[in-house]
Amino acid sequence: MIGQERHILCQALAEAIREASAAGQLMGRGALLAELRARNLLGPDEPNDPDMGALLAETLATYRDLAALTSISGEILYHVPALLSHTYAGILDRKASPLLLIAEEVRRNSAEYPRPVPLELFEQSPFDLLPERIELSLKTMAGSPEFEDISFITTSSGAVYLFSSRHLERPYAVFLAERADTGLLLNP
Amino acid sequence: MAEVNGGFAGKVLRVDLSTGKISFDDSVEKYREVLGGTGIGYKVLWEEVPAGTGPFDGANKVVFATGVLAGTGVPCNGRTAVTTLFPSCWPKPLVASGHMGGQFAAKLKYAGYDAVIVEGKADRPVWLFIRDGRVEIRDAGHLWGAGIRRTTLAISQEMGPESVVAAIGQAGEHLVPLSVVMNSVSHSAGGVGAVMGAKNLKAIGVQGSGSVRIAGDKSEWERLVKFHLSILGGNNQHVVPSFPHPQSEYYNPSSRWVGAPGKRWGAAEPPIEINGGLYDLNRIAFRSNSGAFYLGEQAWQYTVRGNGCTGCPLRCHTILKVPSVAAKYGIREVAQNTCGGMVFGRSFFKQLSGGLFGPASLEACMVGMHMADDLGVWCNYGQLQRDLIKLYYDGTLKAELGSAEYASFPWDKYENGDPAFLFEILPRIARRQGELGHALGLGTGGLLAHWSIPEEAWTHDAACGYWKLGHPKHHANEDDGQCGVIINTQYNRDPQCHSHVNFIRNGLPLAVQKKLATEIWGAPEAVDGVGDYTPMNIHKARRARWSLVRKELHDSLGLCNWMGPWVASPLKERGYTGDDSLESRFFSLATGQRLSREDLDRIGERIFVLHRALTIRDMGSVEMRSRHDLTPPWIYQAPSGAQAFTKGSIRMDSQDIAKAMELFYEVMGWEKATGAPTAEAYTRLGLQYVAEGLAVKNLVPGGKR
Amino acid sequence: MKSEIEAEMVVRAAKEAGFCATLSRRQFLFLCAGAVTSLAALNTWRVWGADAPIVITDNAKGLLLADPSRCVGCLRCELACTEFNDGRAQPSLARIKVGRNMNFGPEGPLGGARMQGAWGNGLFIQDTCRQCPHPVPCATACPENAIQAAPETGARIVDTSACVGCRLCQRACPWNMIGFDEQSQKATKCFLCQGVPKCVEACPSGALRYVAWRDLTREAAPRAALLVVPPEKAKGCLDCHKP
């Protein structure tokens, strides 16, 4: 494959990633390879598929608006952070595993802001988990050492909040949960 | 002095209701050094209202003043400050301001006025007619006794559909200290209704066909307006949405930016789905929904649209249409308001079936808006309602009210959170009927005095929310540690300052907030995580100063301090930085007088210190630290027993707060022992005449600092 | 030669104004009052003599569409119109008009049950210029032919060099959309901002759109009382309505 052709392929990959991100989707290597085929950019006389890893590395180096994310499956996925933020991309990726979806979100919120998250967050977009699924996931987490840091708070109004004990201490998490649940509303 | 070629309308209208005399001052000549708004208010009170004047005396004045940027396309303008001696300030009425939005500020500017000074007292009910250059005092006999809505309609019928009416209701007429003046359906200035009532002034009607000139290049103006729009967040300048979104790295479930894609204004006809990009400038009005924020998801189906002040794209007032309440309570099915005004009704109840997001809560809010916004009752930032809760549940009412009066209230409805109770309590407050109606309307101070309740019963009760001088806390240590405490000590009512809390609650991660804090106030230690407070430092004192100075600046420019300053933004590409010079950039272009951020902040500080001077003069004491800048004991307590500076506790330490006040006085250039501005501080701010006036009474700390 | 062009012009104008494709001789003569005395610099209008009405044959290319169900009453449209075009904030001069309907709707505070706006049914009605097809009321009323169609957009615009400030156009607009700039003593109206309307840009709720033109003149009842003066007396108006 000569340099100019390579440049065209990179450009097509960038375009495909951008279109996908605009539509709220992450693209893996397989999907991107299929894109190149769909755009008739891989000649019929090409014996092998191109080295997508190398091609994509070059694409990311050339087009600085693109980013890569390592999926929970181990696969590398591609997106445009300005259209599909790192945070949102991570959530979309973790939808494949409700356990990780909930746990990672709880951990990130506890570490970054820091704050506990209301349980009902996971029923809303983009998590879209049914209450039964959430309950099942929480039960599973309660019995698993891998998720022993995921902890619960019940506020004075009966709302459930989750936090990670790795990043937030319980008294502080309780304070923040009460504040988020009713404190702010009673303090306009 | 630099030429002023725009921004100001040009005239200050002066109306003497005792003599009927109508006269005009030149805004720029007489008031440019204090800009407008609270600046003009404090200056008038300083120069023309002697110490010892009572709020209901003819000698008291009430100053309706807006600012240079009101009536323009600057986002988040449209504010009027109403400054006077507050009857609710206790034990001694002192200078304070109410703030109202709506259409009044813009219309006043188009009529040709930056402010209206109302003096004296009419011998019969009157209203003030202002149409461009024509000003008349008209008879209001046919309006007296009417609520705000009918008054507005009647005056509009006389003046025309484009007039704006600021009116008092029955509460103001009955000289109830907890009363408001209200314009444009739902926009009120608290605390001043009774002062208007004492002057027999029922309303001000304004119509204006003029303009606000922009001195600078109109293309440059357009670019700056569009830039400001681009860094806006949701209500209270919350810069992250409450929901994860592909265009945002951050979100915060507690954010006021609640307009997620797919939500809809369900009572619009037909309903409107929220669509478009997160930062789309043609979708700013959909970002916030105060109905949904305070009443939960149920509010979306009842949302007709957002509403608000002239020129502001945020629309923080929500119009709710709830047909069921019309049948159930005999009220209008449509109501609108925001924040304290929206939750007025439900705040009376200790609990409501279904909780804050349940149907009883919604109904109570609808009834509350319907009644309070017509009667013109003021909530004193929720203190009215908290006082009733405390007095009822601790048995005071049963002990103090006569048995006949006590029995006349449906207390079972009150305990059950039945909104029908509001029909009993609100009219009695507005008309001072019965002992309870009378006492509650006095405000906390008057109420405590009326029943000889020691203030300590309130100042040791955190749940009650009381701070000092008859008024409650407003974003104190529960939001912002020492910075919040300092801010709450400085005024003669709750501080009505949001500069600090808009930043604290903006939803960005603490690390990002600290990065921004370094840029704005010089060090990451200027901000703490909420409830994770660290000992006081000089940077927090600087941030407190900045918060207060910018609040006065906004109140004097006609800008909304519930949105500004705009130092954080939603934009990742800017590192979430906003623009700390926005006010001065707009000011310079509008007026043609180029002022830097520091120049304009100095004027803001001048205005703030003028308030300080007025307070010192009218208290007759220079001992501000010990007698005025008070903190309630409850901030130093914790029911859990947690110590100060423990994660999860908002408990303050009294020595640390003493240090906080000292550092604050230091950054202000005030004397530490007294908390009073020194002669040098006054002089530095161009307030020598104030220093001289105070020095004569020995109210300036001796010598330079 | 000239008369052929004239005839063609008249037929075209008639079509645009909704007359049937084939004119009767009587209709033709009716439309063709007077001889051509000059051809205008612009191609879209013609005048057949000083005492004949202006004919603007081309419709505007675009139109402001305003949806009241989305209007949030912020008045940023009015502010953008005047601040960005005139360098001053003056809603009374704005060429899109919302403020006047905001409190009570077009019926006003005496409208009773028909009131809209903040004190009525809550709907904020925006008034926009319909960029009327021929006969354009404001253009027809103008004794100086100072209202013409702009080349790029076809918007009906006031030529301020020709306007003498007589205000007859204001009286003629059925929806009271013509403003008057007291400072310059000239009429002013919506000119669609050279195809990028500033009000549309400014609206925070997407209530305004700039779309392909269509005839809105038959859809809303006229608001303003129209002044009717018999032709033989009309000239007398100019005795007073003069600079």
User: What integer pLDDT is reported at residue C238 of this predicted model?
Assistant: 76
- Please state which architecture CATH assigns to domain B11-207: 4-Layer Sandwich (3.60)
In order, the DSSP letters of A34-90 are HHHHHTT-S-TT--S---HHHHHHHHHHH-TT-EEEE-TTS-EEEE-TTTS-HHHHH
Task: Reply yes or no on whether the pLDDT at C41 is more than 50.
Answer: no
User: What integer pLDDT is reported at residue A40 of this predicted model?
Assistant: 87
User: What integer pLDDT is reported at residue A46 of this predicted model?
Assistant: 65
Find the mean pLDDT for residues C205-224: 92
**Residues counted in chain C:** 243
> What phi, psi does B339 have (nearest 5°)?
45, -125
User: What integer pLDDT is reported at residue B122 of this predicted model?
Assistant: 98
CA distance B554 to chain C (A): 19
Domains A3-92 and A97-183 share a fold: yes
DSSP state of B36: S
Better pLDDT: B233 or C227 = B233
In order, the DSSP letters of C27-57 are HHHHHS-S---B--SSSSEEBSSTTS--EE-
Under the banding of pLDDT at 50, 70 and 90, the label for residue A42 is confident
* Letter string b/e over residues C7-39, b meaning 16 or more CB atoms within 10 A of that residue's CB: eebbbebbebeebeeebeeeeeeebbeeebeee
Task: Reply yes or no on whether the pLDDT at C66 is more than 80.
Answer: yes
In order, the DSSP letters of A106-135 are HHHHHHHS---EEGGGGGSTTT---HHHHH
Find the mean pLDDT for residues C22-47: 44
Please name which of C107, C157, C152, C111 lies closest in space to residue C132, comparing C-alpha atoms: C157
d(C-alpha B498, C-alpha B402), whole Å:
42
DSSP state of B167: E
| Residue B241: cis peptide before it, omega within 30 degrees of 0 | no
Tokens of B329: 């309570």
Query: pLDDT tens digits, residue range C144-153?
Result: 999 999 999 9
Task: Reply yes or no on whether the pLDDT at C36 is more than 50.
Answer: no
Q: In chain C, which residues have their Cβ closer than 8 Å to the Cβ of B319?
A: 122
H/E run at residue B95: strand B95-100
CA dihedral sign, ordered B569, B572, B577, B581: negative
Under the banding of pLDDT at 50, 70 and 90, the label for residue C42 is very low
User: What integer pLDDT is reported at residue C33 of this predicted model?
Assistant: 41
Quick check: A35 and A42 in contact, CB under 8 A?
A: no
Indicate the pairing of strand B134-139 with strand B212-213: unpaired
Minimum-distance CB partner of A114 among B245, B505, B510: B510
Query: pLDDT tens digits, residue range A79-91?
Result: 999 999 999 999 9
Indicate the pairing of strand B317-321 with strand B303-307: antiparallel
Name the one residue in this structure whose structure tokens are 């559909």.
Answer: B161
Tokens of B347: 């705040």
Return the amino acid letter for A177: A
Tokens of B566: 């705009």
Indicate the pairing of strand C88-89 with strand C62-66: unpaired
Tell me the CA distances in angstroms from B599 to B10, B117, B553, B594, B668, one per residue in order. Answer: 22, 27, 11, 9, 16
User: What integer pLDDT is reported at residue C6 of this predicted model?
Assistant: 56
Other beta carbons within 10 Å of B464: 20
What residues have CB less than 8 Å from B452, skipping those under 6 apart? none
Dmax over Cα atoms in chain A, in whole Å? 70
CA distance C80 to chain B (A): 7
Tell me the CA distances in angstroms from B319 to B550, C117, C123, one per residue in order. Answer: 30, 12, 11
User: What integer pLDDT is reported at residue B413 of this predicted model?
Assistant: 97
Tell me the CA distances in angstroms from A75 to A21, A28, A59, A78, B670, one per residue in order. Answer: 17, 7, 17, 10, 63
Quick check: C197 and C208 in contact, CB under 8 A?
A: yes
Count of A–B CB contacts within 8 Å?
Answer: 91
Note whether B306 contacts C72, CB cutoff 8 Å: yes
Q: Which fold has domain C33-239?
A: Alpha-Beta Plaits (3.30.70)
Please name which of B12, B66, B228 lies closest in space to residue C83, comparing C-alpha atoms: B228
B219-451 — its CATH code? 1.10.569.10
d(C-alpha C149, C-alpha B265), whole Å:
39
SS3 B422: helix
Mutate one of B155, B218, B224, B282 to test the C interface: name it (highest C CB count within 10 A).
Answer: B282
Find the mean pLDDT for residues C216-242: 76
User: What integer pLDDT is reported at residue B349 of this predicted model?
Assistant: 98
Quick check: B449 and B458 in contact, CB under 8 A?
A: no
**For chain A, how many helices (H) and strands (E)?**
7, 6
Segments of chain B scoring below 50 in pLDDT: 704-705
Note whether B73 contacts C202, CB cutoff 8 Å: yes
Minimum-distance CB partner of B647 among A86, A157, A171: A171
Count of B–C CB contacts within 8 Å?
Answer: 132
Task: Reply yes or no on whether the pLDDT at C18 is more than 70.
Answer: no
User: What integer pLDDT is reported at residue C11 of this predicted model?
Assistant: 60
Beta-bridged to residue B181, according to DSSP, are B168, B189
What residues have CB less than 8 Å from B80, skipping those under 6 apart? B37, B64, B65, B66, B70, B99, B100, B101, B104, B105, B108, B189, B558
Under the banding of pLDDT at 50, 70 and 90, the label for residue C54 is confident
Q: Is C76 on the interface with B (CB under 8 A)?
A: yes
Tell me the CA distances in angstroms from C194 to A12, A179, C63, one per residue in order. Answer: 37, 52, 12
User: What integer pLDDT is reported at residue C224 of this predicted model?
Assistant: 75
Quick check: C196 and C55 in contact, CB under 8 A?
A: no
- The nearest alpha carbon in chain B to C106 belongs to B161
Show the CA angle centred on residue A171, arms to residues A168 and A172, nearest 5°: 50
**Residues counted in chain B:** 705
Return the amino acid letter for C134: H
Which listed CATH number (2.60.40, 3.30.420, 3.40.50, 1.10.10) goes with A97-183? 1.10.10
Domain range summary for chain C, segments of one domain joined by +: 33-239
Quick check: B188 and B200 in contact, CB under 8 A?
A: no
Quick check: B206 and B394 in contact, CB under 8 A?
A: no
- Please state which architecture CATH assigns to domain A3-92: Orthogonal Bundle (1.10)
Neighbouring chains of B at 3+ CB pairs under 8 Å are A, C
Quick check: A116 and A162 in contact, CB under 8 A?
A: yes
Task: Reply yes or no on whether the pLDDT at A78 is more than 90.
Answer: yes
- Residue B374 CA neighbour count, 13 Å, CB half: 19
Note whether C74 contacts B313, CB cutoff 8 Å: yes
Mutate one of B184, B221, B222 to test the C interface: name it (highest C CB count within 10 A).
Answer: B222
> What residues 98-137 of chain B have any CB closer than 8 A to a CB of chain C?
103, 106, 109-110
Question: Inter-axis angle of helices B359-375 and B148-159, to 10 degrees?
Answer: 50
Note whether A83 contacts B246, CB cutoff 8 Å: yes
Beta-bridged to residue C157, according to DSSP, are C148
Other beta carbons within 10 Å of C209: 16
The predicted complex's ipTM stands at: 0.96
Quick check: C126 and C71 in contact, CB under 8 A?
A: yes
- Residue C210 CA neighbour count, 13 Å, CB half: 20
Quick check: C194 and C153 in contact, CB under 8 A?
A: yes
d(C-alpha C87, C-alpha A65), whole Å:
39
User: What integer pLDDT is reported at residue C15 of this predicted model?
Assistant: 59
Please name which of B263, B297, B266, B293 lies closest in space to residue B278, comparing C-alpha atoms: B263
H/E run at residue B397: helix B396-400
Query: pLDDT tens digits, residue range B579-597?
Result: 999 999 999 999 999 999 9
Name the one residue in this structure whose structure tokens are 């746990």.
Answer: A103
Task: Reply yes or no on whether the pLDDT at C49 is more than 80.
Answer: no
Q: List alpha helices for B403-443, DSSP H.
A: 403-407, 411-415, 422-431, 434-441
User: What integer pLDDT is reported at residue A50 of this predicted model?
Assistant: 81
Give the least confident one: B270-279, B479-488, C62-71, C111-120. Answer: C111-120
Q: Is B212 on the interface with C (CB under 8 A)?
A: yes
Mutate one of B68, B211, B221 to test the C interface: name it (highest C CB count within 10 A).
Answer: B211
Please name which of B553, B595, B611 lies closest in space to residue B67, comparing C-alpha atoms: B553
pTM tops 0.90, yes or no: yes
Name the one residue in this structure whose structure tokens are 């009587």.
Answer: C26
Domain range summary for chain A, segments of one domain joined by +: 3-92, 97-183
User: What integer pLDDT is reported at residue C52 of this predicted model?
Assistant: 72
In order, the DSSP letters of C171-218 are HH-TT---EEETTTTEEE---GGGGS-HHHHH-TT--EEEEE----TT
Note whether B505 contacts A184, CB cutoff 8 Å: yes
Report the mean per-residue pLDDT for chain B: 97
Query: pLDDT tens digits, residue range A4-27?
Result: 688 999 999 999 999 999 999 999
Find the mean pLDDT for residues C173-181: 95
Under the banding of pLDDT at 50, 70 and 90, the label for residue C35 is very low
Please name which of B3, B2, B6, B1 lies closest in space to residue B589, comparing C-alpha atoms: B6
Name the one residue in this structure whose structure tokens are 């925001």.
Answer: B338
Domain range summary for chain B, segments of one domain joined by +: 11-207, 219-451
